[in-house]
Amino acid sequence: MAFRNKSDAILKHNPDLLILQECSKADIENSTALFKHWVGNNKHKGLGVLGFNDHNFRIAENYNENIHWAIPVESDTVDVLAMWAHKDAGQTYVEGLLNALNHYDSLLRKENGIFIGDMNNNVRWDHKTKKEWQWATYVEELRKLDKHSVWHKTKGEEHGLESVSTLFWYRQPERGYHIDYVFGSESLIEKARIEIGAHEDWLMHSDHVPLLLDVSPLKTDTIN
C-alpha cells in the first residue's frame, strides 16, 4: 500500500524523523515535511526520509549517490544512516551494507549516530552464504564501531531468536521474520525506548510492521 494511503496511521505517532522503504518519489515530494529526501531507480518504489519539527535535518556532506539505498542525515540532535538493503549488481545484501558501513564510517562512529532500516537479513539464514557475507559477520563489524541492535540489547534477545517479527511473508502472521533493525551506541541505547508494531494493526497496510524508536529528545520511526 502506498504511503499516502497509510500516512494517517503512521503520522499519528508524531515522528521527528520517518524512514520509509518501498515508497514512491511522489509521496516524498508531496509531503509537507520540513526535510525530505528520496533515492531509487523506480519512481514508484524507493527509499525516503521525512523530517519534522525543528531539528535542522540535512544531508551529510559525504553523501555518495553511488552507494545506493543509503541516506545519511545529520541534525542538531542525532545523525542517522537510513538504509534499505539491496542486492545491487549481483552483490549479497551484506556486501551492499558493508559498502555503506565503510563509506559512512565517520557517521557511525559518533556516539549519537544511528543506523536504521530494512536490512533484509537475519542470522537464521547465515548457513546459506560465505562467512564474510553473513549477517553475524556484519553485526560484529558494527559492534567494533560501538553500534548494537537496540531491540536485542534492550530486550535481552539473541540474534536469530527474536520474539517479535518485523516482516510477514505474504502478510501471513505465521510466516514472520526479524529483518528490520536500529543500531546505536551503548550510551544512546541507555536512553532509548523501542517498540515494534503489532501485526494485527499493520498487516492491512503492509507486510512489514514499524519500528518505533524514542531517543530523547528525538523520536525516529522506520516504517516499511
Q: Per-residue pLDDT tens for 58-94? A: 999 999 999 989 999 999 999 999 999 998 777 889 9
Decide: 192 and 184 in contact? Cβ < 8 Å: yes
Look at residue 91 in the predicted model and tell me its pLDDT: 82
Write the DSSP string, 72-137. Answer: EEE-SS-EEEEEE---GGG--HHHHHHHHHHHTHHHHTSTTEEEEEE----GGGGGGS-GGGSHHH
pLDDT for 3 beyond 90 = no
Q: What is residue 221's predicted lDDT score, i.e. its pLDDT?
A: 65
Query: Which of 1-10, 70-79, 209-218 is the least confident region?
Result: 1-10
Which residue bears the cell 556484519? Answer: 138
Q: Report pLDDT digits (tens) over 120-159.
A: 999 999 999 999 999 999 999 999 999 999 999 999 999 9
Confidence of residue 211 (pLDDT cuts 50, 70, 90): very high
Q: Within a 10 A sphere around the Cβ of 216, how many other Cβ atoms?
A: 9
* Average pLDDT score over the chain: 92
Domains and CATH numbers, the chain: 16-223 (3.60.10.10)
